Structure 1
Amino acid sequence: MVADISAAPRVAEPVPQPAVEGRRRRDSAAWVAMYHSVSTCPDDPYDVTVTPARLERQLGWLAGRGLRGVSVRELLEARDRGTERGLVGLTFDDGYTDFVTEALPVLHRHGFTATVFVLPGLLGGANVWERTGPRKPLLDEDGVRRAAAAGMEVASHGMTHLDLTQAPDDVLRQEVAGSRHVLADLLGEDVAGFCYPYGHHDERAVDAVRMAGYRYACAIAPSPLGRGDLVLPRIHMGQADGSLRLELKRRLARVYGRALEAA
């Protein structure tokens, strides 16, 4: 459940800065796009659904501008090598079944990868955290493995989609560290990424992510706690995003992308 805060048409262009000694200037900042469900369901009170046809057009728009969608893990690895120009991180929150049935074929047609943030405490369940709107099925264990086998990054969205800023300490640890252990056992590999449910985070939640050993964590808006790989901002992508809105969001990405610049 998110609000589209990224569609405002007025975006100030960042003032070019001189290159810092020992670091090249980023001419085209990398950024991260945020998706959720991919389906033809018309009932979408939280603006978290795009149709497969709309996703096809959006990814085609990126490809037509020389941009390539990748998982956040791949994006950060490229950033660390200084080769992130032209890459866009693609994320799909909540781990809906339609990630495998609908999004994967579109991603493969474009040669893109993505990160899917799943809820290991709700595998095979539904989006019970949403009070209204349709019930949508979530990936089960086989679906999670299929996503990973297809070359996608599987990362954690917490165990059960709780607001971590309201969770007691023991629940916070289970949601953050516990979910990482469950996914690692399921996949047979390390889990690098975390995504804060609702984008909500505070110092306590960020510390829990750090202590759990995650390489990065995604939020939504730029964090009041500052920049860094444990509070990566993302730009919401919705059904209404055609070419004009995508161009506006790409300009906004020049500002959001500063959070991804290597220290």
Structure 2
Amino acid sequence: MKVLIVTTEIGVTEGGLALACQRVVDLLAKEYDIEIALSSEYPIYTAKGGINPTIGDSIRKEYKLKYDCQAYANVDVIIAFGGRFNGYYSALLASKIGKRFILVLRGSDVNIAKWSVEDTLYLREAATKASEVICLSEEMIQNLLSICPEAKEKVQIIPNQQEGICSGFTFNDFSRKIIVGVAASHLNEKKGIGNLLAMLVEFKKISSKDIRLELVGDVDIDLLENYKREIAMYGLENCIVFVGYQTRDALRATMRKWDFYIQASVCEGHPNSIFECLCSGTGFISSKTGYIAERLQNLFPEFFFDSFSPKIIAKKLKDLAETSNLASRYLAAFYELKKGCTKEEVDRKWIDLLAYNKTKRKNLDVENIVCVGLHDVKGDVHDSITTPTRVFRNFVEYVVDQGYGICSMTDYLHKSREERKQWIVCTFDDGYKSLIHDALQILKKHSFTATVFVCTGLIGKDNSWNNKDADLREHLNKDELKLLKREGWEIASHGVFHKNMLKLSDTEVEYELLESKKMLEQLIGSCETFAYPYGAYNKFISQCVAKYYSYAFSVDQGGTSMSVDRYQLKRYSITEIYEMLK
């Protein structure tokens, strides 16, 4: 099979798109016949000037399209490595010669495309014509779908491959100086440099430590002059060094001298520099954007700042420098990050992507969800409702040790399909007050969340309705539900009065479903998930639920397919989850 890769840049000496493209080319060249075309190179010269100054550019592009249609008529697949005009041009070329077209997006070509009418047009046209669209993060997918909803069924995440080993971290005590750095081949405002200057000012207000910011990469002359004026205005001349462009080998050596790499971008795809700094034994602090943040922020919240406010970034950096177990935490983050983007895993995804024939059917969405179903967590006695605190804590720690996470259904849905394979949805039925004391704190330790299914007619009351439970329990009140919501938990519906819906009239079923949804939405906002009381349902009940909710959980009936079983998602016990993980 012949594969044409259309790009604007390629090579190992640069970073970002060029490096990622080169690595994909090297991979695919082992299996396929690869050709490279640059969308920015034109085979014809046109003079500038005339009544319409843009016509020369249009003629060059038209000539190039005709030229490439002849030159690449025998390829089987066209891959656009990079969006904007590159993606649009590749889509036109593929359409002209009737070839399969794959669009590969890298970050800003989708994350900030919405702010340019031209880029929005290019992205929408390219994504519409593509048979598959490859992104680097869930954030990129959501930005793409806001412009081109039609791409929903053909988008997937393939991260950048990350190669290298980490020998460990040795941090100074930071008693006198902190050295932070940021790097890019072409250093500009995409990396948030202006905001970092303001951050230095705020840091000097709250800390007596010297701080030094090293900036690696080319800077446009006019932008450099603006930076220098602001540096002089803030009195930061002794705090900032413009290193200039460095090769990747030289950059790695520079990184080893830093205490932290700081990623202050407002949007990223999958920044290679963070992984490289970890390989160099250097820590990082980052905004919550891109694949790395999505992979690590729940497990390592101390490495990410929630706001782009210079004051908040400065405070986060100061707190990070005062953290005692940095070396072990960064080493754990390195291995967690590498787990999802090893060369072998990324290679497999690319090969699978191109393993295609014209009779191939559309893949069915049979993504499976693993969910644990619980009620109450407290004390040390196990019964049909209660999971002892020790048992739950040990379960959570075991899940973490196996490299998995625990989250609410809402958080699960916000993750990419690939990420979901590493997460277990945790649900609690009935909404008992004890969850505030034990379950919340155990999950909060790891920045995990859960879904609690609440009976709205029982909020703030006791469980005297349940004559099969020997323990008198209190249900969460409104303030406690709001607290869980603030902690990131999902508050979902369990009906109004915990009624077996198979024993209710049609009118009563509607009441249980609609009234509980209305009250929860007034109390805490959106409510899209439901759990059948007693796990009791049939086809008619599921159809009724579907009118008001997006997903519904049973107990041990139903299935785990996110498409086929979305209104009969089964849940497992802790014991069953242990067996799966083993």
Does residue 1:58 correspond to 2:395, yes or no? yes
Cα distance change on mapping 1:41 and 1:30 into 2, 3 Å: same
Partner of 1:101: 437
Cα distance change on mapping 1:43 and 1:125 into 2, 3 Å: farther
Partner of 1:215: 550
Does residue 1:38 correspond to 2:385, yes or no? no
Does residue 1:131 correspond to 2:484, yes or no? no
SS in 2 for 1:217: strand
Which residue identity is paired with 2:518? Answer: H
Which residue identity is paired with 1:99? Answer: L
- Please tell me the root mean square deviation across aligned C-alpha atoms, in Å: 2.5
SS in 2 for 1:230: coil
CA distance in 1, matches of 2:395, 2:380: 18
What are the Cα deviations for residues 78-98 of structure 1, in whole angstroms up to 9, with x where unaligned?
Answer: 36x443111100001110001
Partner of 1:167: 504
Q: Rg bigger for which structure?
A: 2
Cα distance change on mapping 1:223 and 1:116 into 2, 3 Å: same
Q: Once structures 1 and 2 are overlaid, which stretch shifts more, 201-210 or 138-147?
A: 201-210
Out of 54, 66, 88, the position equivalent to 2:424 is 88
CA distance in 2, matches of 1:184, 1:25: 30
* Displacement after TM superposition at 1:41 (Å): 6.2
Quick check: 1:30–1:86 contact (8 Å CA) kept in 2? no
CA distance in 2, matches of 1:191, 1:126: 23
What are the Cα deviations for residues 49-103 of structure 1, in whole angstroms up to 9, with x where unaligned?
Answer: 1122211100001011011001112223336x44311110000111000111221
* Displacement after TM superposition at 1:235 (Å): 0.3
Q: Give the TM-score normalised by structure 1.
A: 0.76
Which residue identity is paired with 1:83? Answer: E
Partner of 2:541: 205
* Displacement after TM superposition at 1:154 (Å): 0.5
CA distance in 1, matches of 2:510, 2:365: 39
Out of 233, 236, 247, the position equivalent to 2:578 is 247
Counterparts in 2 of 1:22-33, with a 5 A limit? 23=363, 29-33=368-372
What are the Cα deviations for residues 162-183 of structure 1, in whole angstroms up to 9, with x where unaligned?
Answer: 1011111121111111100010
SS in 1 for 2:420: coil
* Displacement after TM superposition at 1:195 (Å): 0.3
SS in 2 for 1:89: strand
Counterparts in 2 of 1:142-157, with a 5 A limit? 142-157=479-494
Structure 2: runs of 5 or more not aligned: 1-351
Which residue identity is paired with 2:570? Answer: P
What are the Cα deviations for residues 122-174 of structure 1, in whole angstroms up to 9, with x where unaligned?
Answer: 01112233213111000011111111011101100111111011111121111
* Displacement after TM superposition at 1:197 (Å): 0.5
Q: Give the TM-score normalised by structure 2.
A: 0.36
Runs of 4+ in 1 over 4 A off after TM superposition: 18-26
Cα distance change on mapping 1:38 and 1:232 into 2, 3 Å: same
Structure 1: runs of 5 or more not aligned: 1-17, 252-263
Partner of 2:98: none
* Displacement after TM superposition at 1:192 (Å): 1.2
Partner of 2:41: none
* Displacement after TM superposition at 1:220 (Å): 1.3
Does residue 1:194 correspond to 2:525, yes or no? no
CA distance in 2, matches of 1:218, 1:130: 21
CA distance in 2, matches of 1:235, 1:96: 20
How many pairs does the alignment contain? Answer: 221
* Displacement after TM superposition at 1:223 (Å): 2.3
Out of 351, 364, 386, the position equivalent to 1:49 is 386
* Displacement after TM superposition at 1:185 (Å): 0.5
Which residue identity is paired with 2:370? Answer: W
Partner of 1:180: 517
Partner of 1:254: none
Quick check: 1:124–1:140 contact (8 Å CA) kept in 2? yes
Quick check: 1:92–1:117 contact (8 Å CA) kept in 2? yes
Does residue 1:110 correspond to 2:446, yes or no? yes
